[in-house]
Structure 1
Amino acid sequence: MDAAPQGYPERNRGIAARAAFWTASVAAVALSAGSVVAPAAVAISVAGNSAVDYWEDLPGELPLDRSLPQHTVLLDKEGNEFARFYSENRIDVSLDQVSDIFLQTLITTEDFRFYEHHGVDPYGITRALVNNAISDDIQGASTITQQLVQNILVNNARDATEEAVAVGDTYNAKIREARYAVELEERLTKDEILNRYVNAVYFGNQAYGVEAAARIYFSTTAAKLNRAQSALLVGMLKAPGHYDPIRNPDAATQRRNTVISVLQDRAVISAEEARKLSKAPLGLKRGSVPSSCGDSKYPFYCAVVREEILTDPAFGATPEERQDRLSRGGMTLTTALDPKAAKAAQKAVLEALGTGNRAALGTAVVEPGTGHIAAIAQNRKWGSGKGRTEVVYAKQAFQVGSSMKPIVLATALSQGIPASTRLAANGPYHSVLDNPPGGYINYGNRDYGVIDAYAAIRSSVNVYFIRMIERTGVRNVAKFARTLGITSLPIDQLGGLEASLALGAYEVSPLEMAGAYAAFMSGGVVCRPVAVVAAERSDTGEKLPVPDPGCRQAIDPAVADTVADVLKEPFKPGGTLGLLGGPKGREAGAKTGTTNDFAANWIVGATPQLSAAVWLGDPRGGTAYPLNRVQAYGKTFHDLTGSEVAGPVWKATVEGALKGRPALPLPEAESSVASRIAQQAVPDVRGLKVDEALTVLLRNDLRPVIRTKTAAPNELYPADTVVRQSPAPGKKLRYRQKVELTLSDGSRTGITVPEER
């Protein structure tokens, strides 16, 4: 058993059932809302052994495994706190973190025989009965243990009966409260009860527990509370609202002095000390405890973490469980927030646009190979009103423009179409797929002749990628994007004719784009972006589950390396980023994007150490509020493209984030990538029903053709079965290769074969 504070010897805690019930019966007479229940009522209701039986039958086990709501503390990757949020401002501390003066003041005032009784105090109850019979100054008799029972049940009541005990305003509720208190003293030591109590009680002004109260009222800690401060806080426990020293200083002073008088009467302090303390001012020094993302230095990153808690199964199997986990808090979460990257990203967006600009910037920075979200930044203050928002732009989906083109290229490479593929790139071009009025044209109506993917990425040539998506298939590009972690494309709604997908006509968030490009720098390892990387219970240090980024080898390393190599092109002379240049002293790959009619600008780029996506647009809607005139960097820009403002923001972010870190080279293209991928074997579909065979071939990007002539009759092959195929199984597979199928006798050969696009 823990040692009691000096002056409060620990007593034998055994208790007989009859004595316990008698005590509880008297305890029921303790005042609730100023009413008194006659002791005779108890004697009449139960007597003798029936009283003992009644007492023993009452439930007594409290839900001690569920902690009271506490703070959730967010740490950056270096272990520094940058945010905390909570439903109740409670900061649990151990008894050795609370001043002895406060504990002495508390016990002397609230429960002088705390270390002597067994949960309820018959002497205190008798005193209250006598006092309340002859005085209008109503006294209570609940012990610290009984008050703790109420505090536990206020948050954790499991049924209506326990809710009634938490309120404690009926005879039966008081009896049950006493039973819980006696049982609690059997399960916990006195010091454990006291520790839970000082962390549970409410001191007003959203301060739960003594540590939060010390910070709110005196800008200090519970360990440093002096006598005057302790007297004020203990006095508030009777009625925190009425004795609020901020709103009702006179009432608070009077109540504090009453506590001081009790300390003098019980010889804890001298008369002279009591006199000096009673004349002292309240000495308030108001402090605060960060209470939301709005109080954080990185509010939008904090919001990403909060959303992760509410949506990721690591924090609960259902939305209700995750909401409860957030409300109860008590977690210390280490995040992937990189202070250097976050500072660089925030500085970059503010230098470009400031906070009052109609245009907005949203930046997401992700670490390749881990999925760790290193930074989130935007040029808005947190909150509501002009220049403020609580929307995280990095999590919102916008049209991505030409930053989608590298994903089209990656799809082609995965199908065996090499980056050296040369296609006519002049416009206007009328595709076999859907077309805009007048056909597809390149930016500035430029013509490029016949070029390969390197040149097409360098100059962001629209027509080249329309021709490329004709070869890969629209739905295949969307599926490949999903493989890269992009979840917003409506694959099931695509009919296969939407060539504009290649030019970024569909919406993706900056965070998912950063994650997709990260795969090109990590050898094809795709990870889901996550913010929380470690978690533990704040009170016990117990490790807790965290979100799983699900890192996996999702695409061929040679495909990823080739795309990374091609992405160097925009920084070369004549490239879209040639004038801007890459990050100083290091290789990088990037692609800009400008949507139709300048509705939005993008740049997504990466190095082996980080991948960053920057969106620039008007949050009210790019179509209605295009970027045809924008103030940035102290001057006016007309008809903005991705290289003019978003590009410098990206460059400054990358340079700042990687300052002091070694410069790593980007992967080189593997010349054999196309041929190696193309060497996949033609699948064997012989013996399959025709619909099954068609499915297999289409999924392998092959073109099934059903011969009109069927095979000779054979009882081993029922109708509509594939008997032969050409080329034969195991032959080298070429992208979109024709595979002829001969069906069994009696089969339907007029089947329309769907074309997978």
Structure 2
Amino acid sequence: MASRKSPLFDTATTVGKIMSFLGVSALCGLLAAGLVFPLAATGGAAASAGGDILHEVPAELQEEPLSTPSHMYASDGETLIATFYAENRVPVDLEDVSQEMKDAIIAIEDERFYDHGGVDAQGVARAAVHNFTASTQQGASTLTMQYVNNVLNNAAVVSGEGNFLAAGIQEKTYADKLREMKLAVQVEQEMTKDEILEGYLNIVMLGGRNYGVEAAAQFYWGVSASELDYQQAATLAGLVQAPNFYRPDIQDNVERAETRRNTVLRNMLIHDFITDDEYEEAIAIDLGESLEIQSSEVGCIAAEFGEYFCDYAIHDFTQNEAFGEDEQERAELLARGGLRIVTTLDPDMQRQAEETVMDHQPRGTEAAALLNSMDPETGNILAMAQSTTYDPNDESDDWNSTSLNMNAGSSHGGSNGFQGGSILKPFVAAAWVEEGNDMDDRVDADQTEYEYGERWQASCMPGGSVTLLQGEGDEDVYSISNVLDDTEREMTVDWGLFHSINTATMATANDMDLCAITDLTDRLGIQGTSEGTELGPLRPDTPSFVLGAVSVTPLVMNRAYAAFANDGTICTPRSILEVTDAHGNEYDLPEADCEEVVDPDVVAQVNDTMINIAEQNLYVGERDGDAPFPMAGKTGTNHTASGMSFQGYTEGVATSAYVTRINDNSSLWSNGNVPDETYAGTIAFPLWYDYMREVAPTRATGDFPEARNSPFNERRSGYGGRYAMSELGSGSGSSSSDDDDNGDNDDDD
């Protein structure tokens, strides 16, 4: 950094001429004589002359708000999630600072604080004589001057100029000192002594990221500033000279910090702030043993709970233009702006989610259990949990310690998601109904092979169709299979979706326009990736996408399913409800952003099937007999059984549940053999259900709207399901060794 040129030494100015004539030592003599500064004890012509000279000194006290921590809260506005700060500061009134602390800082830094007018003539004279006769340097800064210096440094940091003095880039010049002195005099004329002392005790650095006596007292001993005793107060006062050199929480510093503390105590004794007995008692205390250091972690890693949601919300914050021109400016606001951030997180649901994912994490595998919940009517994220330890600083190979948010996408600290398998099948059914068909229509689900080169209707593609292309290493034909026995036959679209019959879904897609399916998934905001493709909308040029070949994030899928809980209206996920600055001003944030994208009757027809999938899962019967409230959803198992999911919802909550490996696509089971009857219905659904049976009743749990002319209107049977199992037929599930690489062989029951 280039040296700053001070106008003080421009010889064209009056002050410059005086400096050139008198020299620095003469100026110090003037200071000592009280001729330059209007000290409290000086008046008349001398003060007038000093004021005239200082009038031309360029000085203005640029004050900026003090950096204060920002706090993130759950939706109740009371439950703290995390705190963020560059400077850990808790502003406090002087009356809430112990007398011991006030005495200690005055005794060591400015024993004549209440007697001077901002600059101490005796101190200046003493320092001048010392500095011109000794090899060491001595300062003469009063508390008022130090306060001015801290205010200037704070303004430099806030304005983006940085703290050049604290960084050690440049020593203070005489110009800096003279400017500081002038400002100190001005401050003394505008503020009372107690106001100056209060300001100083709130702004001063006290080691690490601790600023001000309240934050420091809490950090070093877990007490408030009002509770500081002589020994503690002397320790803090001693830090002022070199905050990080004397900070006692660093083991190598403890001895010198204690020596410095004892120096402060000695000054307190000399100036009659403490008695001989109090001095002896205080210096006898072992400083290291007296400390009760509180956690120094800050941000989401130190969150009380909801660490992964916290991380997601911070990404939302730093991507929002309402909080600054760029991400760096927004991060600075978060760290220094004293914001109150109220999020959408439901604290009770979050705690339940965290408990449930830990209960359902597969043991002995590198797999995690995930949950995220959303309010279908607003898009508010209510919970977000995964059974790993949140740690953005971890550099080990421990898969269980990660900051990767597996519920979210790469824009929010996550990835591109996981193959969902059969959870994409309801959108094929919905597109079928949108095209003017019914869930009760029958399709030929007996076809297990499709010829490569065969053309499929796709009106949005060039030529109005796509060709089924052969991949490297593929067989001569594209083949699919089912898990249920004897299911390669004609069946209704509804029956095929209920039992997750792959051949039925593929037959449905083959009988319609593929672009009708991708048009629907586009409206529902579904984006994903497949091998060799970038993240983007689902593509109709690979028909196998209907069986779940693409990777999609759990949150994206949950948003799409939430539209089925909300009569076809989809909402943008949001994590932040309101943000208020340190002065109580609210930032302008958007309300819920929702749009109807699917006809409610289409949704109602597909919901008829998904209600039965959820309510008739065998796990419901084992736990409760009948479903305790109306629910709907769909299971999905990817082709390697490395991930299983259940996307489900009630009227008031949509929840995505995943159990998935993190680092590879191998089976959840180490030997690669998936036990019989073990699919998403017996792995992911219990995770979803154990969570939802606790949290769903806290929100709306009414019946889903009925479809017009629904074939099931005559056979609803309350919460226990809309089918009788005898009407559906039966089949025995069995694991298959020839699962298709592009899809899912999934027995939902």
When the two structures are superposed, what TM-score results if normalisation uses the length of structure 2?
A: 0.75
- Select the residue among 420, 439, 460 that pairs with 2:478: 439
Q: State the alpha-carbon separation in 1 of the partners of residues 527 and 187 from structure 2.
A: 51
Corresponding pairs, count: 635
Contact 1:571 1:581 in 2 (8 A): no
Q: How does 1:264-279 map to 2 (within 5 A)?
A: 264-279=269-284
**1:213 maps to amino acid:** A
Structure 2 equivalent of residue 369 of structure 1: 377
Change (3 A) 1:162 1:372: closer
Contact 2:82 2:300 in 1 (8 A): yes
**1:512 maps to amino acid:** V
Q: CA deviation at 1:231?
A: 1.4
> Are 2:442 and 1:422 equivalent residues in the alignment?
yes
Structure 1 equivalent of residue 164 of structure 2: 163
Q: How does 1:35-46 map to 2 (within 5 A)?
A: 38-40=25-27
Q: State the alpha-carbon separation in 2 of the partners of residues 356 and 477 from structure 1.
A: 39
Structure 2 equivalent of residue 515 of structure 1: 559
- Select the residue among 187, 193, 210 that pairs with 1:207: 210
Structure 2 equivalent of residue 658 of structure 1: 696
Q: CA deviation at 1:215?
A: 1.7
Structure 2 equivalent of residue 107 of structure 1: 106
Structure 1 equivalent of residue 256 of structure 2: 251
Contact 2:443 2:490 in 1 (8 A): yes
Contact 1:153 1:163 in 2 (8 A): no
Structure 2 equivalent of residue 331 of structure 1: 339
Q: State the alpha-carbon separation in 2 of the partners of residues 96 and 488 from structure 1.
A: 59
- Select the residue among 303, 306, 323 that pairs with 1:315: 323
Of structures 1 and 2, the one scoring higher in RCO (CA 8 A, sep 6+) is 2
Q: State the alpha-carbon separation in 2 of the partners of residues 104 and 583 from structure 1.
A: 71
Change (3 A) 1:309 1:161: closer
> Are 2:379 and 1:379 equivalent residues in the alignment?
no
Q: State the alpha-carbon separation in 1 of the partners of residues 419 and 646 from structure 2.
A: 12
Q: How does 1:113-262 map to 2 (within 5 A)?
A: 113-114=112-113, 117-132=116-131, 138-157=137-156, 158=159, 163=164, 169-182=172-185, 191-246=194-249, 247=251, 248-262=253-267
Can you give the 5+ residue segments of structure 2 that lack an aligned partner in the other structure? 1-13, 37-47, 409-414, 457-467, 712-749
Structure 2 equivalent of residue 483 of structure 1: 523
Offset from partner CA, 1:611-670 (integer Å, 9 cap, x none):
111222221122xx2335479xxx984795211211111111111223566642233223
**1:557 maps to amino acid:** P
Q: State the alpha-carbon separation in 2 of the partners of residues 299 and 465 from structure 1.
A: 39
Q: CA deviation at 1:129?
A: 2.7
Offset from partner CA, 1:412-461 (integer Å, 9 cap, x none):
44444433333222231536332675335342275353333322221112
Offset from partner CA, 1:39-59 (integer Å, 9 cap, x none):
448989x99999947744614
Structure 2 equivalent of residue 98 of structure 1: 97
Contact 1:479 1:491 in 2 (8 A): no
**1:202 maps to amino acid:** M
Offset from partner CA, 1:338-362 (integer Å, 9 cap, x none):
2332232222222222676312222
Change (3 A) 1:228 1:649: same
**2:576 maps to amino acid:** V
Q: State the alpha-carbon separation in 2 of the partners of residues 113 and 310 from structure 1.
A: 47
- Select the residue among 661, 664, 672 that pairs with 1:618: 661
Which has the higher mean CA deviation after the structures are superposed, 190-199 or 160-169?
Answer: 160-169
Contact 1:513 1:604 in 2 (8 A): yes
Contact 2:628 2:693 in 1 (8 A): no
Offset from partner CA, 1:256-277 (integer Å, 9 cap, x none):
2222232233333334433433
> Are 2:449 and 1:410 equivalent residues in the alignment?
no
Q: State the alpha-carbon separation in 2 of the partners of residues 582 and 612 from structure 1.
A: 22
Offset from partner CA, 1:662-684 (integer Å, 9 cap, x none):
642233223499xxxxxxxxxxx
Q: State the alpha-carbon separation in 2 of the partners of residues 54 and 401 from structure 1.
A: 78
- Select the residue among 592, 608, 614 that pairs with 2:651: 608
Q: State the alpha-carbon separation in 1 of the partners of residues 91 and 163 from structure 2.
A: 24
**1:318 maps to amino acid:** D
Structure 1 equivalent of residue 407 of structure 2: 394
Contact 1:70 1:92 in 2 (8 A): no
Change (3 A) 1:224 1:574: closer
Contact 1:571 1:580 in 2 (8 A): no
Structure 2 equivalent of residue 11 of structure 1: none
Q: CA deviation at 1:391?
A: 0.6
Structure 2 equivalent of residue 457 of structure 1: 497
Q: State the alpha-carbon separation in 2 of the partners of residues 661 and 50 from structure 1.
A: 73
Change (3 A) 1:192 1:388: same
Q: CA deviation at 1:576?
A: 11
Contact 1:440 1:462 in 2 (8 A): no
Contact 1:355 1:379 in 2 (8 A): no
Change (3 A) 1:76 1:196: farther
Contact 1:598 1:639 in 2 (8 A): no
Contact 1:76 1:82 in 2 (8 A): no
Change (3 A) 1:457 1:630: farther
Q: How does 1:571-590 map to 2 (within 5 A)?
A: 571=614, 584-590=627-633
> Are 2:298 and 1:291 equivalent residues in the alignment?
yes
Q: CA deviation at 1:575?
A: 9.0
Q: CA deviation at 1:514?
A: 1.2
Q: State the alpha-carbon separation in 2 of the partners of residues 492 and 291 from structure 1.
A: 35
